[in-house]
Amino acid sequence: MEKLKMHSPDLSQQNIAKIRALFPGCVSEAEDESGNLRLSVDFDQLRQELSDQIVEGPQERYRLDWPGKREALVTANTPIAKTLRPYRDESIEFDSTKNLFIEGDNLDALKLLQDAFLGEVKIIYIDPPYNTGKDFIYKDNFVSSKDEYERASGERDEIGERLVANPETRGRYHSDWLSLIYPRLTVAKKLLSDDGIIMVSIDDYEQSSMRKLMDQIFGESNFIAQLVWEKGRKNDAKFFSVGHEYIIIYAKNVTYLRDRKEAWREEKPGAREIWGEFLRLKGIYGDDYRAIETDLSKWYSDLPKSHPAKKWSRYKRVDKYGPWRDRDISWPGGDGPKYDVIHPVTKQPCAVPERGWIYASPDEMQRQIKLGLVEFRDDHTEPPFRKAHIRPIPEEADDVNDVDEDEENGDDTEFATQVRGSYFYKQSQVSVKYLRSLMGAKVFTNPKDHEELARLVEYVTPNNRSALIVDFFAGSASTAEAVFKANATYGTNHRFIMVQLPESLLDAEASTTGTAKKTVRAAIKLMEKNGRPLVLSEVSKERIRRSGEAALAGDRHEAWKGDVGFRVLKVDTSNMQDVYYRPDEVDQKDLLHAIDNIKPDRTVEDLLLQVLVDWGVDLTLPIRRETVHGKSIFFVDENALVACFDTGVTEELVKELAGREPLRVVFRDNGFVSDAVKINVEQVFRQLSPGTDVKSI
């Protein structure tokens, strides 16, 4: 029994708890004067979190440290003057799809997505580089003066390639790898919803570092599980065959998940087949449950050992609710209630389980007996047992007919479920062979199995049928196909955002050997055949196109809307000239070139996307283009945002748009036919649509 504290609240610890909720990596363990461990704020780390410059002052404490950690945090916090540009020709159903494919540096992409998708992402799944000593890694460099940063307008390509090798000569240093992962996870956390989770695939070499890193970023208390994915034996191993990888899972807020009573369960494999056989036999024998049981038992015995229903042959008894098995009727853990339960034949009290009855009161026990969910033994000398049906019965079982006709062929019937184990087996060659068949060549060396990922997506989204799923190390785009697979199988309408750097396939070919080189060559041939650029992101997009077509052509749940499109956006420099950011630095000789603050090579759709990013508007909203008073007008989700970037905007056009009462409206700063019209814009909207937020670029 907990004791009362008998003292006033410890406000210091409460405040530290609030800091930990915002910055888990800034709260650690420290000894007080009495030698007791208490939560303590790492003020040096907190100062660094709140700064865009490197802060000095390390101290000894319990935490994960490495050379370059502070620079990595600066990298996470430094703003960028970049944007996302749309590419219609590379997209599928650009105007209507809810899926995004972003090409570019994933850290830049995550920063650009922050405002639009803050707290909106249910699942982040990533399969980052495993630090093999041969992988390509990102090379970030934000450690420069403020003047250098401003004059570069957020650009870093002057410092060299964004992608550098992690060679054996440098060793498999953890620090380089941690500096790659740390800022990306830090920014990605902001995208997660309160009930969001992150799943990270990793191997043995960096598993311990990843756990410690995620403890700092997400908080140790938010750790959920570490799954083991066994992919097959390696007979060429010297000591042990290490054929497994891990999936480390953390919650954004595990307390929030528990408070919502969110329970993750998956349907028992083979349950639908058992139900289908029951329905077939019921059509033959009607209510003769003994006859159904006899034939059902034979059906089980005739199944091959590999059939998933073979495992559930305990569901061999049958009543009006379908196949069932027995389960314990005693109180879990002991000390349950004990009362008389009369045997229906002997009329004597049944033996009471040693741990007591599972039902708290005699009334509840009688209700369960009346529903037919308690099975008595031959006599009263043993306790009865409960029934567990292959298809859970509704709460009000009295209202259920033997078999509802509208459920006989339905896919929405619920079946017996189970908690997923932390170990599962799926040979890696299964996904390799599948992808070779889909793409016509072996273009990826170690793709993740999209069917297993689809099962995971379904498992962790019991209360969300249209979750947003992000993978910012898209690679082979297995996550995108997993979303298609989950939607087609389970009738969900999940959406995805994939991010992939346009890594050069030619560079990869030059730096690899053996099987990896052959795989890269196959990818190069595929891209050349399709007339696509020789970069990895193009191979990823091709996989999404083909898997989408396959999903539509295969078996699909009627509740899935069939969205297999994706809107391609690419990270690029800002659409705005330097004068837009630093007008005070324009020399007189440059004034003629500074008349327009927009770069000459940018389109009106480029401007629209930057406005969406800057305003924090969902980048997947439908976009419609309409001509009004001779000008091209964009309507984002109809009236969520209206944009006009043409020149020569008249007061008549302004009044027309104000009459539609949009939530937001944006014009080009020098786009008005006269200064008088520009001055009157806000007044027009104040009169006709006072709730509209009016801005210009």
Q: Give the three-class secondary structure for 324.
A: strand
CA distance 74 to 66: 14
Q: Provide the edge-to-edge strand list for the sheet that holds 641-644.
A: 623-628, 631-636, 641-644, 664-667, 693-696
Residue 391 has pLDDT above 80, yes or no: yes
Query: How many residues belong to the chain?
Result: 697
pLDDT of residue 590: 52
Asked whether the beta carbons of 620 and 98 are under 8 A apart, the reply is: yes
Residue 133 has pLDDT above 80, yes or no: no
> Model's pTM, two decimal places?
0.82
What mean pLDDT do residues 447-452 have?
95
Between 311 and 384, the more confident residue is: 384
pLDDT of residue 636: 96
CA distance 34 to 55: 31
CA distance 582 to 602: 20
pLDDT of residue 78: 84
Kindly give the residue spans of alpha helices, DSSP state H, lying in 33-154: 43-49, 69-77, 106-117, 146-152
pLDDT of residue 414: 67
pLDDT digits over 609-620, tens only?
999 999 999 999
Out of 249-258, 584-593, 645-654, 658-667, pick the least confident: 584-593
Between 357 and 6, the more confident residue is: 357
Domain boundaries, the chain: 13-63, 77-262+422-569, 591-696
Residue position matching structure tokens 């040096």: 44
Out of 79-88, 170-179, 318-327, 448-457, pick the least confident: 170-179
Position 453, amino acid: L
What mean pLDDT do residues 198-210 have?
93
Q: Give the three-class secondary structure for 140.
A: coil
3-class SS string, 446-485: CCCCHHHHHHHHHHCCCCCCCCEEEECCCCCCHHHHHHHH
Long-range CB pairs of 306-314 (<8 Å, 24+ gap) are 307/270, 307/273, 308/269, 308/270, 308/273, 309/269, 309/270, 309/271, 309/273, 309/274, 310/270, 311/268, 311/269, 311/270, 312/268, 312/270, 312/271, 312/274, 312/390, 312/416
CA distance 40 to 387: 52
Residue 401 has pLDDT above 50, yes or no: no
pLDDT digits over 521-552, tens only?
999 999 999 999 999 999 999 999 999 999 99
pLDDT band at 403 (very low <50, low <70, confident <90, very high): very low
pLDDT band at 565 (very low <50, low <70, confident <90, very high): very high
Q: What is the residue-averaged pLDDT of the chain?
A: 86
pLDDT band at 344 (very low <50, low <70, confident <90, very high): very high
Ramachandran region of residue 261, left (φ > 0), alpha (ψ -120 to 50) or beta? left
CA distance 666 to 172: 50
| Residue 456 neighbours by CB under 8 Å, 6+ apart | 125, 199, 247, 482
pLDDT digits over 309-326, tens only?
998 899 999 999 999 999
Residue 458 has pLDDT above 50, yes or no: yes
Q: What is the DSSP string of 517-570?
A: HHHHHHHHHHHHHHT--SBHHHHHHHHHHHHHHHHHHS---TT------BEEEE
pLDDT of residue 62: 75
Kindly give the residue spans of alpha helices, DSSP state H, lying in 78-173: 106-117, 146-152
Between 17 and 350, the more confident residue is: 350
| CB-based burial, 22-47: b 16+ in 10 Å, e otherwise | ebbbbbbeeeeeeeeeeebbbebbbe
Residue 691 has pLDDT above 80, yes or no: yes
CA distance 406 to 209: 53
pLDDT of residue 411: 42
What mean pLDDT do residues 174-180 have?
85
CA distance 455 to 448: 13
The DSSP element (H or E) to which 248 belongs, if any, is strand 244-251
Residue 218 has pLDDT above 90, yes or no: yes
CA distance 122 to 56: 36
Task: Report domain 77-262+422-569's class.
Answer: alpha beta
What mean pLDDT do residues 334-339 have?
92
Position 25, amino acid: G
Out of 76-80, 339-343, 681-685, pick the least confident: 76-80
Q: Give the three-class secondary structure for 126.
A: strand
pLDDT of residue 53: 76
Out of 74-88, 184-198, 395-409, pick the least confident: 395-409
Q: How far is CA 184 from the centre of its chain?
A: 15
pLDDT digits over 628-640, tens only?
999 999 999 999 9
DSSP 3-state percent helix, strand, coil across the chain (nearest 5)? 40, 20, 40
pLDDT band at 284 (very low <50, low <70, confident <90, very high): very high
Residue 87 has pLDDT above 90, yes or no: yes
pLDDT digits over 469-496, tens only?
999 999 999 999 999 999 999 999 999 9
pLDDT of residue 46: 87
CA distance 538 to 611: 26
Which CA distances in Å does 437 have to 430, 432, 543, 547? 11, 9, 11, 11
